[in-house]
Structure 1
Amino acid sequence: MILKLITQISRILVGALFIFSGFVKLVDPIGSEYKFQEYFSESVLNMEFLIPYALLFAIVLIVAEILLGVMILIGYKSKFTVWSLLIITTIFLFLTWYSAYYNKVTDCGCFGDAIKLTPWETFYKNVILIGLILILLVKVTFIKPLFKGKITKVITFLSLASFLFIVQHVLTHLPLIDFRAYAVGKNLQEGMVYPADGSIPPVHDFMLEGVQQDLAPILLEKEKVMLVIMYNLDKSDTNGFPAMKEVSEKAIAKGYTVYGVSASFSDDLLVAQEKYNLPFDFLFCDETTLKTMIRANPGIIILDKGTVTQKKNWVDVEGLEL
């Protein structure tokens, strides 16, 4: 009786943790793509040939993670589910140990941007998680379906379809939930204040460099500012450039200060500006910062005295309120 109770508690804990961990990444799969790119880089695992497939890896892992959490809770294919959970967690355990021991990746991204853990904290979390999964593996016969007939199967496949739909939606538009310091409603000046413990502030490396100076302090004091983010021109969706031109012209006519922001070379920016007849000048900002600011390339951020009031992927710029 006690073993059965322990098994059911472990089942709930494991399922809830996998669902939570998968969900906070499901709403922002591009963030996980960036994390895979970091792991595949030369300085970490030295598997750069996998970088082009980082988004695919992210999607497969996220969907598998949250789906397995659902499956263990409802009791669908319990043996397959428990073994799959063990394999995935073992992979996580190795990666987090590697990151912690060699100080390679300071944030594994296991909870996306929702909760930040140090590599060692993540490693010990995975050790505990494997212990819980081993309990489930030993007493897998105690894991019974919650529903009779084909209901658990239907729930599983409906869940899979729902998760894939969410992935497609957020990749086309923007994350459903924005956990970052540049989310709508956040004030960037406040985000630059150092915490009492002396740790790095949420908003850092934020500079908008013009020809002669950093314009960030000036722009963060203005009421109507539009930033057209194109973090890397080589990777930008050029189909969005006409929309950027049109919406920026409307913004300028309504009194907005409009700048493009990119990490690309100035010569390339001048070529793009002339080719697409873009009615704004470009400022330079660190690529990582720009990818953190908005999961779009190109995308739009509207600021009012440093507060983010609107963010749009280029496909949604017609919905901007100017």
Structure 2
Amino acid sequence: MKYIVGLSRWVVGILFIISGLIKLNDPVGFSFKLEEYFSQGVLNIPFLEPHALSISIVVVILEVLLGIMLLVGYRPKFTVYSLLGMIVFFTFLTFYSAYFNKVTDCGCFGDAIKLTPWQSFYKDIALLVLIIVLTVGIKYVNSIANYNIRRGIVLLALLGCVLFANHVLNHLPVVDFRPYKIGANIEEGMSMPENAPQAIFNYEWKFNVNGEEKIYVTQGDYPTVDGEYVSVETTEIQKGYEPPIHDFTIEQEGENFAESLLQEDKLVMVIAYDLAKSDYDAFTAIKTVTDKAKAKGYKVIGMSASNDELSGKIVAKYNLDFSFYFTDETALKTIVRSNPAVLVLEKGTIKQKVHYNDVDDLKF
């Protein structure tokens, strides 16, 4: 039992630390995922949506700290039972997502490791088993040093997490796992490679044959049956290849200009997924930097999911020398975690990407 508890302790501790650090690198992204869970039609607790970012920061820091506390043996009873409560809650969420197909990605490992809802659920079941082992054999969760050293390690970890969270919130994630990272080409990210795996579907055809309902299964072809057609049900049995970038458009008055704009040698994108939630003070600095870019021969555009009325007010108020195009809000949230933010592209390749606090760092 001692060795089983020891193995469980290391697996659980390391997984919680890794999972927490990945999400701590991008707490804004995790908050978007929490907003999905809180929304109507999922858990139906929309009053928590405005607090999603604060909750995400607390959860991911707690995840990291509990992993460290488990490994060093700091307050083992509190640690193990806290882990048990957390994993029970996560297991409920992942089961709910998988069974009801409500949230297609739990965000357990952020954008670094994508898991399907059922994969996330099975992962949580495995962790639940390991943590139950820890609760049963809690007497074997020994300390690695004296109390003051253990407490010092935990306090240093807490300070480090807080400072790291503050940094990524005021700038951008240190490591960008998304398909819009610097150096990525957007057009290439939208393309389908040759011989890419196609989705496979089962078609269950229901026919009335001599007064008896019979089902014939094919993978697309209409069956040759001497009977009366009743209905058909389609089930995806194998997912096809999905480009890392999809649903990306740059629209104005119903026309998509993405293809032509992504051919520009010098393009600056000012991105604000929701202008109603933007930091308006940032537009003063953005005005300065975009005027500088235009003077250097860059084409400047805005991209937002907000309506024309609101974007027009922002343009007029801050005397911006560019207009906004419409892009899907989810796509904009994926591109960059700052609202607003600035990207510099060369023929569709992202060369620079900055938080609104860092627009002065842009080089043209």
Q: What is the TM-score with the length of structure 2 in the denominator?
A: 0.86
Structure 2 equivalent of residue 232 of structure 1: 274
Q: Which amino acid aligns with 2:267?
A: V
Distance in 2, matches of 1:215 and 1:272, equals: 22
Deviations along 1:197-234, one digit per CA (max 9) or x if unpaired, are 32321111110112362111112112211000011111
- Which residue is equivalent to 1:55? 53
CA distance in 2, matches of 1:16, 1:186: 31
Amino acid at match of 2:162: L
Question: Where does 1:96-107 land on structure 2 (aligned, <5 Å)?
Answer: 96-107=94-105
Match of 1:261?
A: 303
Partner of 1:216: 258
Of 166, 169, 189, the residue aligned with 2:167 is: 169
CA apart distance, 1:4: 1.2
Deviation of 1:194 after TM superposition, in Å, equals: 3.1
Q: How does 1:179-194 map to 2 (within 5 A)?
A: 179-194=177-192
Amino acid at match of 2:121: F
Greater relative CO, 1 or 2 (CA 8 Å, sep 6+): 1
Residues 1:142 and 2:140 aligned together: yes
- Give CA deviations for 1:108-165 in whole Å, capped at 9, x if unaligned: 0011111111111111111110110111111111111112241110000010010011
* Structure 2 counterpart of 1:88: 86
Partner residue in 2 for 1:292: 334
In angstroms, what is the RMSD of aligned CA positions?
1.0
Q: Deviations over 1:230-278 (max 9, x none)?
A: 1111101001011110000000011111001111111111121111100
SS, match of residue 251 in structure 2: coil
Q: Are 1:153 and 2:195 matched, yes or no?
A: no
User: Which residue in the other structure is 1:41 paired with?
Assistant: 39
* Partner Cα distance (1:127, 1:211) in 2: 49
Name the stretch that deviates more: 195-204 or 62-71.
195-204
Partner residue of 2:127? Answer: 129
TM-score by length of 1: 0.97
Q: Report the AA paired with residue 205 of structure 1.
A: D
Residue of structure 2 aligned with 1:206, choices 243, 248, 252 = 248
How far apart, in 1, do the equivalents of 2:185 and 2:21 lie? Answer: 26
Structure 2: 5+ residue stretches without partners? 198-239
The higher radius of gyration belongs to 2
Identical columns (%): 50
Letter in 1 for 2:285: A
How many residue pairs are counted as aligned between the two chains? 320
Q: Which amino acid aligns with 1:35?
A: K
SS of match in other structure, 1:229:
strand
Q: Which residue of 2 aligns with 1:120?
A: 118
SS in structure 2 at match of 1:223: coil
**Aligned AA (2:340):** P
The offset of 1:190, in angstroms, is 1.5
Residue 19 of structure 1, aligned match among 17, 20, 24? 17
Q: Which residue of 2 aligns with 1:30?
A: 28
Q: Could you tell me how far apart the structure 1 residues matched to 2:36 and 2:58 are?
A: 17
Partner of 1:65: 63
Unmatched tracts of structure 1, length 5 or more: none
Deviations 1:260-303 (A, max 9, x none): 11111111111211111001111110111111100111100111
Following the alignment from structure 1 to structure 2, what is the Cα–Cα distance between the partners of residues 194 and 111?
26
